Amino acid sequence: MAHLDPPAKATTLAPPMTWRTRLSIFAAGYLTDATRRADGTINRRLLAYLDPGVPPSAAPRNGVASRDVLIDPALPLRARLFHPAPASTTPLPVVVFFHGGGFAYLSASSPAYDAACRRIARHCAAAVLSVDYRRAPEHRFPAAYDDAFAALRFLDDPKKLPTAPPLDVSRCFLAGDSAGANIAHHVARRYALSASSFATVRVRGLVAIQPFFGGEERTPAELRLDGAPIVSVARCDWMWRAFLPPGADRTHEAAHAASPAAMAGIDSPAFPPAVVVVGGYDPLQDWQRRYCELLRSKGKEVQLLEYPDAIHAFYVFPEFAESKDLMLRIKDFIAGTK
């Protein structure tokens, strides 16, 4: 009689979570899948209906006030400025934040990111400038990077710098999640290559929450966790095609952190210490760990925060215990970085 091997144990694609959280995650996936057109464009009208932005609030919400500021009227490029309320008389450190969404989705006014930036501002006693960069596929590489870097230049211009609350731009931190963390990395590189041209802005740290990097190969985590919440191989491939220049593959500097162009500036002393966040249920985790190793190989100070039970974008769901823990870790990083 032939020997029958026991069936392979199925890979668990997500940690235990409530039905409410599952429904929220399903809605996030539906938002991206339902608005993609066959011709590679996005139905922005439907997306605006599914992801209605929330207005800024001069009246504090959860202890944080916000207002929108105009960075570049020619584009126009805007950002949302969050700060603890009542406004501090002591200058606040500034977190320049870039939202996720695969370079193509969501905005600074999306409910999830408005709430996330409020939590960062409240926990860290910092101002948060959330940049509403241009999105793909209408605006491909390098538009998002150009907009993000323009926000840093905006903070360096005393004529444009908001006066209330007072901001300590000598203590700037770059932060983002997923595609936003990718943007934060490339802005840190650009800053490092041109730090001497900034009069007052000093970038003191980089917070890369589950950064969106990739390559042509399929990593073990991508294969093992394909179908996990939020991120799938098919969605990621579509987002890279939407963002990268026509004809480019995922060895391009925007996607592949180890490409020579993507490493330019990392060797500079002005490239800041980094915190890199990795989740155990994130299909992108192998790329994120490689990014950590890359920075360390260049002599950079890197703190790796691993959350074994975290899905991609876990921190925008405050019901996860890991979300609160990450806020406290970011607070410690900002407070401890001079």
Please give the positions annotated as active site.
Answer: 178, 282, 312
Q: Give the whole-angstrom CA distance, residue 72 versus residue 53.
A: 20
Strand partners, 174: 96, 206
Task: Tell me which residue of 266, 254, 263 sits closest to 103, measured CA to CA.
Answer: 254
What size, in residues, is the chain? 338
Are 80 and 26 within 8 A, CB to CB? no
Strand 64-72 versus strand 77-84 pairing type:
antiparallel
Task: Tell me which residue of 324, 251, 279 sits closest to 178, measured CA to CA.
Answer: 279
Tell how many helices (H) and how many strands (E) occur in the chain: 10, 8
Query: Sign of torsion, CA 193 331 66 28?
Result: positive
Structure tokens at 240: 């890279």
Are 298 and 229 within 8 A, CB to CB? no
Angle at 298 between CA 148 and CA 195, to 5 degrees: 40
47, 294, 308 from 33: Cα distances, Å: 10, 33, 27
Task: Tell me which residue of 258, 228, 243 sits closest to 179, measured CA to CA.
Answer: 243
Q: What is 298-338 written as a DSSP string?
A: TT--EEEEEETTPPTTGGG-TTSHHHHHHHHHHHHHHHH--
Q: Residue 230 region, left (φ>0) first, then alpha (ψ -120 to 50), else beta?
A: left
Q: Give the whole-angstrom CA distance, residue 38 versus residue 72.
A: 33
